[in-house]
């Protein structure tokens, strides 16, 4: 199978499903994000079918890509959602997501966000500290509601990923320290407006091995046993997200082997299994299409200055992340070693270093694996309007987000009266 199924060359043209990317450029201009509907569905189905008969719920981690059309597509094929803010809650509801399939994660839920989620009757709050649990109890009591809760336990395992996206070590801000979890579960029995229904962990993102997941699962099962002895009715185990994808030469486990490993770790237990995948559902289902504005030669380097920048895709600048960059039309020009950079006034504004490409001004490039944490982390830095987003379905293209206009950029701003 090709590295990026649904994104393949037909003759010399890179296509998304059956649409050549140069057609997308002519219709929608650049920079723009382009997604394959089939790739999104295939990624979801691979997780879903691997659970076979086991009771489960896939809660797509909205932060990876929160565009309404993507949320709507996942809602239609049965997905639940993992949210981390009131804004994400609003998006999921607007996109037709079922509130009874929403879990609410995050270390700093505000009172207003808790209220909105209680009104919506979500499936579960993943609570990350004793003070948060107390606040939720208080708010639920004021509203005459009972809040369904999992405690997010920090199992203190090393996810062996980039330090910025590793969350399951005891020095990280996330979750309840493993050694304190049982005590907090026990004391939660005194909180009248909290109903404990689950157990949750999430240890990090872009994990390329199964071992840390298995280690975390084993610790959680030990805790589950104790809780059951204390007669807690644990209805579900939320095993978080974090499965990595292939950006370059990584070789992460497939969704199928990941799910099978989790199911075997949980063994005969009857609890429903929840997972919260983000990147692995959308990452390789999207690319960022950009156009070469200028080729600039200096004594030291060749730069290709493109019309997408760190405000569109911050991952290279923020994590030194590698994204493959492919020519949209293959040509016979001379190959050179290019630094692919954007127009933003920072040296950190690059999309790729040392890429061997044959380029002329105006060429189109596809920055691959950009479906996750691309658009959702984009900004207006340098007062650059946010890119358009296009969903491809077979030979059809759909504009799912218009390019932001210059008027929209300053719409909420005011100058002083004098
Ligand atoms: N659940 C929780 C509680 C999370 O914090 C996250 C991601 C996920 C699920 C989904 O993880 P995934 O399956 O996508 O790995 N901006 C970074 C990634 C940050 C991940 C934050 N939490 C990046 O671009 O690599």
Task: State the Cα–Cα distance between residues 263 and 243, nearest whole angstrom.
Answer: 15
Say if ligand 1 is within 6 A of residue 175 CB.
no
Instruction: Give phi and psi for 357, each to the nearest 5.
Output: -140, 155
- Looking at the chain, which residues constitute the CATH 3.20.20.10 domain(s)? 105-277
Return the pLDDT at 1.
Answer: 52
pTM of the model: 0.97
Look at residue 178 and give its three-state secondary structure.
Answer: helix
* pLDDT of 135 higher than 80: yes
CB 60 within 8 A of CB 74: yes
Return the pLDDT at 161.
Answer: 76
Task: State the Cα–Cα distance between residues 316 and 322, nearest whole angstrom.
Answer: 6
Return the pLDDT at 295.
Answer: 97
In the reported structure, the alpha carbon of residue 166 is separated from the centroid of ligand 1 by a whole-number distance in angstroms of: 9
- Shortest-distance atom of ligand 1 to CA 283: 14
In the reported structure, the alpha carbon of residue 357 is separated from the centroid of ligand 1 by a whole-number distance in angstroms of: 32
CATH topology for the 105-277 domain: TIM Barrel (3.20.20)
CB 123 within 8 A of CB 148: yes
DSSP-assigned states of every residue in 299-341:
SS-EEEEES--TTT--HHHHH-----EEESB---SPEEEEEEE
In the reported structure, the alpha carbon of residue 284 is separated from the centroid of ligand 1 by a whole-number distance in angstroms of: 15
Least confident of 1-5, 163-167, 406-410: 163-167
- Shortest-distance atom of ligand 1 to CA 206: 15
Say if ligand 1 is within 6 A of residue 65 CB.
no
CB 154 within 8 A of CB 176: yes
- Shortest-distance atom of ligand 1 to CA 280: 13
- Shortest-distance atom of ligand 1 to CA 167: 5
Say if ligand 1 is within 6 A of residue 315 CB.
yes
Beta bridge partners of 199: 151, 237
Task: State the Cα–Cα distance between residues 174 and 249, nearest whole angstrom.
Answer: 29
Return the pLDDT at 114.
Answer: 98
Q: Would you please indicate which residues are annotated as catalytic (active-site) residues?
A: 345
Q: Residues near 257 by Cβ (< 8 Å), separated by ≥ 6?
A: 210
19-36 pLDDT per residue, tens: 999 999 999 999 999 999
Return the residue matching tokens 């559902």: 281
Q: Which CATH architecture has domain 7-36+283-409?
A: Beta Barrel (2.40)
Count other Cβ atoms within 10 Å, centred on residue 241.
Answer: 25
In the reported structure, the alpha carbon of residue 276 is separated from the centroid of ligand 1 by a whole-number distance in angstroms of: 9
In the reported structure, the alpha carbon of residue 112 is separated from the centroid of ligand 1 by a whole-number distance in angstroms of: 23
CB 286 within 8 A of CB 37: no
Say if ligand 1 is within 6 A of residue 97 CB.
no
- Looking at the chain, which residues constitute the CATH 2.40.37.10 domain(s)? 7-36+283-409
Find, among 97, 278, 279, 128, the residue nearest to 89 by Cα: 97
């Amino acid at each position: 199978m090709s590295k990026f199924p649904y994104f393949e060359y037909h003759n010399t043209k890179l296509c998304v499903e059956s649409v050549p990317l140069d057609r997308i450029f002519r219709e929608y201009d650049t920079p723009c994000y382009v997604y394959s509907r089939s790739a999104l569905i295939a990624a979801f189905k691979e997780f879903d079918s691997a659970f076979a008969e086991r009771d489960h719920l896939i809660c797509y981690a909205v932060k990876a890509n929160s565009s309404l059309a993507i949320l709507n597509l996942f809602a239609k094929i049965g997905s639940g959602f993992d949210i981390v803010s009131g804004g994400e809650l609003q998006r999921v509801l607007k996109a037709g997501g079922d509130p009874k399939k929403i879990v609410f994660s995050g270390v700093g839920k505000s009172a207003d966000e808790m209220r909105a989620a209680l009104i919506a009757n979500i499936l579960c709050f993943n609570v990350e500290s004793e003070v948060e649990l107390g606040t939720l109890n208080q708010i639920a009591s004021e509203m005459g509601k009972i809040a369904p809760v999992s405690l997010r336990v920090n199992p203190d395992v090393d996810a062996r990923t980039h330090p910025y996206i590793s969350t399951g070590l005891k020095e990280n801000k996330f979750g309840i320290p493993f050694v304190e979890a049982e005590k907090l579960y026990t004391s939660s029995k005194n909180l009248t407006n909290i109903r404990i229904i689950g157990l949750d962990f999430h240890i990090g993102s872009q994990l390329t091995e199964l071992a840390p997941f298995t280690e975390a699962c084993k610790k959680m099962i030990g805790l589950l046993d104790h809780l059951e002895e204390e007669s807690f009715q644990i209805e579900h185990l939320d095993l978080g997200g974090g499965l990595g994808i292939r950006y370059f030469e990584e070789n992460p486990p497939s969704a199928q082997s990941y799910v099978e490993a989790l199911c075997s770790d949980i063994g005969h237990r009857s609890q429903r299994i929840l997972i919260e995948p983000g990147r692995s559902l959308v990452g390789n289902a999207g690319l960022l299409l950009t156009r070469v504005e200028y080729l600039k030669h200096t004594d030291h380097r060749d730069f290709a200055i493109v019309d997408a920048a760190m405000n569109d895709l911050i991952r290279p600048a923020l994590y030194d992340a590698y994204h493959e960059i492919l020519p949209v039309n293959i040509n016979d020009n001379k190959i050179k070693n290019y630094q692919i950079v954007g127009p933003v006034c920072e040296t950190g504004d690059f999309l790729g270093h040392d890429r061997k490409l044959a380029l002329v001004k105006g060429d189109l490039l596809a920055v691959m694996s950009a479906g996750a944490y691309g658009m959702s982390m984009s900004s207006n830095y340098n007062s650059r309007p946010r890119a358009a987003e296009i969903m491809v379905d077979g030979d059809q293209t759909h504009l799912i987000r218009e390019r932001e206009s210059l008027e929209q950029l300053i719409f909420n701003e005011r100058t002083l009266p004098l």
